[in-house]
Amino acid sequence: YTMRLDYLENIDKEGFESKNGVQVEGILYGGRDSDITVPIEESPSWRDGILLKAATLESETTSATLGKEGVRKSDPMAITDFLSYPLGQYTMNNIRFGEKVDQPPRIFSTNYFMKNAAGNFMTSKLAKKVWLHWAEGRLHGEYDAYDTPTGKIPRYEDLVILFQKHLDEAFSKEDYEYLFSFRCAGWIGKLERTKAFYTKMDSHTPQELFDHWDQAIEHIRAAKERFGDVIRPGAYRP
């Protein structure tokens, strides 16, 4: 769907009307999975953002789709249904694009569909407002973050304030730790599925992409050895 930007109360009217436009400071890539990807995570670099956030996007099938529900389907950058040239080349073009600009946008991954052990969604649909306000705050240096093997995640004390301010809701430490724990085995499987998907989709995918994913897998395996399979927020040390 689309809408007129000038319908929004908080639009930057000066930027909207400027012939020079506005600078893009952040890009969000969002998938749908119930038990691996945290609600919001910042990438440490443009290249990592493309290869560990955008290229690894998966969506679980729902009751609205044909076939079995809950099956993970790879969809790098949510573009595969619309891509008109090889996926590996497209991914390399994304990497090179960001490396050519002086201030590449920061890349964030999102996942609004985490479920608990009972199969219920952990947060309401409106929680995305909190995740996006945190990302916006990171761009302006307002929040610190915890490191993970694949990026940076919010601190609990900041999310408590954001939930209260924007949703007038409490946010428990228990929910925070479940939502933002890093799941090593899940991520290794996710990266292996990404490699298999690229191999299937484009036999000429550049080797450097596979090398990056292999390095990430080894990095996560090393983290698993040091901190365990499920790493609580704040427990990881690079």
3-state SS, one letter per residue, for 98-109: HHHCCCCCEEEE
pLDDT in tens, 113-170: 999 989 999 999 999 999 999 999 999 999 999 999 999 999 999 999 999 999 999 9
Residues 6 or more apart from 173 whose CB is under 8 A from it? 156
Are residues 169 and 127 in contact, defined by beta-carbon separation less than 8 angstroms?
Answer: no
What is the distance in angstroms between the CA of the first residue and the CA of the last residue of the chain? 41
Helix (H) or strand (E) holding 142: none
Are residues 169 and 163 in contact, defined by beta-carbon separation less than 8 angstroms?
Answer: yes
Query: What dotted CATH number matches 20-231?
Result: 3.90.228.20
Domain map (residue ranges) of the chain: 20-231
Strands 106-111, 26-31: pairing is: parallel
pLDDT at position 60:
86
pLDDT of residue 21 exceeding 90, the answer is no
Say how many C-beta atoms besides its own lie within 10 A of residue 226's C-beta: 11
Task: State the Cα–Cα distance between residues 140 and 120, nearest whole angstrom.
Answer: 34
The residue type found at 83 is L
pLDDT in tens, 93-104: 999 999 999 999
pLDDT of residue 1 exceeding 80, the answer is no
Residues 6 or more apart from 139 whose CB is under 8 A from it? 25, 26, 106
What is the rounded average pLDDT for all residues in the chain?
94
pLDDT in tens, 73-93: 999 999 999 999 999 999 999
pLDDT at position 66:
53
Model confidence at 195, pLDDT cuts 50, 70, 90, reads very high
DSSP reduced 3-state for 67: coil
Task: State the Cα–Cα distance between residues 123 and 113, nearest whole angstrom.
Answer: 8
- The verdict on pTM exceeding 0.95 is no
pLDDT in tens, 202-224: 999 999 999 999 999 999 999 99
pLDDT of residue 41 exceeding 90, the answer is yes
